[in-house]
Amino acid sequence: MLYRQMGKTGEMVSILGFGCMRLPIDSKNQHVDRKRASSLLDYALESGINFIDTAYSYHGTNLQEGGDSEVFLGEYFQENTARKDVYLCTKLPSWLIEKKGDFDNFLEEQLKRLKTDYIDFYLLHNVKERNWSKMEDLGVLDFLDSAIADGKIKYTGFSSHDNIDLFKDVIESYNWNMCTIQYNYLDENIQAGREGLEYAAKREIGIAVMEPLKGGILASYTPPEVTEIWKKAPIQRKAAEWAFRYLWNHPEITTVLSGMNEMKHLVENIFCAEDGHPQSLTTEENELMEQVKKAYKDKIEVECSACDYCMPCPNGVNIPQCLSYLNQAAMLHDASNVYMQYHYNLKDEEKADKCLGCGLCEELCSQKLPIREKMKMAKKEFR
């Protein structure tokens, strides 16, 4: 396993992080399958993975209550003496913060669930414009300072899917140690994107990447055009390995989080992490990567830049997300995974079928896109 320094903390973190959002599930009770999840974690730790990423909400039935992921990890590390050798990263459910006391209440509850005295990396989960200003007003930064002073957390961070402007604002507001952003070779220009990656790195903030495989798409759904390009590579790699190697090629990225719920994937990812050195892709490989990006993008249905200028939709539709799913479906022959993600990740009111066709968004769209027409397409695609 290779390790990189998490920003200015000096902590050496494995370049592959163990994501605990999609652990194996026991079909009888829908809880984390302790036996299978423990075997995966045992193997991960034996192989040198030392960054474990979870959140209050992971493996919950809804976003309003704590899920089973932290509880499982608490039980696991009570049995397993490796707790002191790993970096445990968990996240405060930002969207549930209503009053000042909530910060401490959630942290105390999380420490209990994780059966630990301290959390190594404590992140504000899914910082968005609305919850960020609310948390700032309620004194979240003072709360983080005092949690560090009390020894309950060691380092701070935040995760975000919002736009680059908010990302920069949040970065500038505090002496963060890390951030978690969505990044992969098709998402260089959405959300924080490459600009955010470089912005954070310049400030010596460690970067964990989520969605390295774009929800599994870059591993499981390779269009034939892309397969043909990869065949030209001097070293043959699986699609997932190309996606990981692309990320590790960036010196700015500290660790790549992957929710590995099958031993086969874990073993493969650990194997390819052995060669995940920064700037290790050759010129020829980088050129092929550019061709692959182009091949995917040629299939794109709508050139939405995810700038968010059209938002909020008065009827609650999450326009950029609906368009992103439409694009993902257009790129693949089998869009069943995209269909699942669309229905799992979007709330009912955010889906394209809630579009009333008022046209307000089209007046605001920076790319002059026919959004109403695309919403009709998305409605049909994901019905």
Select from 48, 360, 376, 379 the one that contacts ligand SF4 (CB under 6 A). 360
Q: 104 vs 362, which CB is nearer to ligand SF4?
A: 362
Select from 361, 377, 381, 382 the one that contacts ligand SF4 (CB under 6 A). 361
Q: 233 vs 360, which CB is nearer to ligand SF4?
A: 360
- For the bound state, the minimum distance from the C-beta of residue 303 to ligand SF4, rounded and expressed in Å, comes to 7
Q: What is the DSSP track for 241-291?
A: HHHHHHHHT-TT--EEEE---SHHHHHHHHHHHTT--TT-S-HHHHHHHHH
Contact assessment for residue 35 and residue 47, using Cβ atoms and an 8 Å cutoff: no
Contact assessment for residue 162 and residue 195, using Cβ atoms and an 8 Å cutoff: no
313 lines the binding site for ligand SF4 (CB under 6 A):
yes
Q: 224 vs 314, which CB is nearer to ligand SF4?
A: 314
Helices 283-298, 239-248: crossing angle, 10 deg rounding: 120
Residues 251-290: x/- map of binding to ligand SF4 (CB under 6 A)? ----------------------------------------
Contact assessment for residue 1 and residue 49, using Cβ atoms and an 8 Å cutoff: yes
Phi/psi for 157 (5° steps) reads -170, -175
- For the bound state, the minimum distance from the C-beta of residue 324 to ligand SF4, rounded and expressed in Å, comes to 9
Q: What is the DSSP track for 293-340?
A: HHHHHHT-S-------TTPSPTT---HHHHHHHHHHHHH-S--HHHHH
Select from 356, 370, 373, 380 the one that contacts ligand SF4 (CB under 6 A). 356
Number of residues that bind ligand SF4 (CB under 6 A): 29
305 lines the binding site for ligand SF4 (CB under 6 A):
yes
- For the bound state, the minimum distance from the C-beta of residue 354 to ligand SF4, rounded and expressed in Å, comes to 7
- For the bound state, the minimum distance from the C-beta of residue 322 to ligand SF4, rounded and expressed in Å, comes to 8
- For the bound state, the minimum distance from the C-beta of residue 186 to ligand SF4, rounded and expressed in Å, comes to 16
Residue with tokens 């774009």: 214
Select from 319, 329, 335, 378 the one that contacts ligand SF4 (CB under 6 A). 319
Contact assessment for residue 72 and residue 37, using Cβ atoms and an 8 Å cutoff: yes
DSSP state of 150: T
Distance of alpha carbon 236 from the chain centroid: 27
Range in contact with ligand SF4 (rule: CB under 6 A) among 76-84, 88-96, 185-193, 361-369: 361-369
What the block records as the tokens of 135 is 């948390």
- For the bound state, the minimum distance from the C-beta of residue 325 to ligand SF4, rounded and expressed in Å, comes to 13
Residue with tokens 């990302």: 167
Residues forming the site for ligand SF4 (CB under 6 A): 304-310, 313-315, 317, 319-320, 323, 355-361, 364-367, 369, 371-372, 375
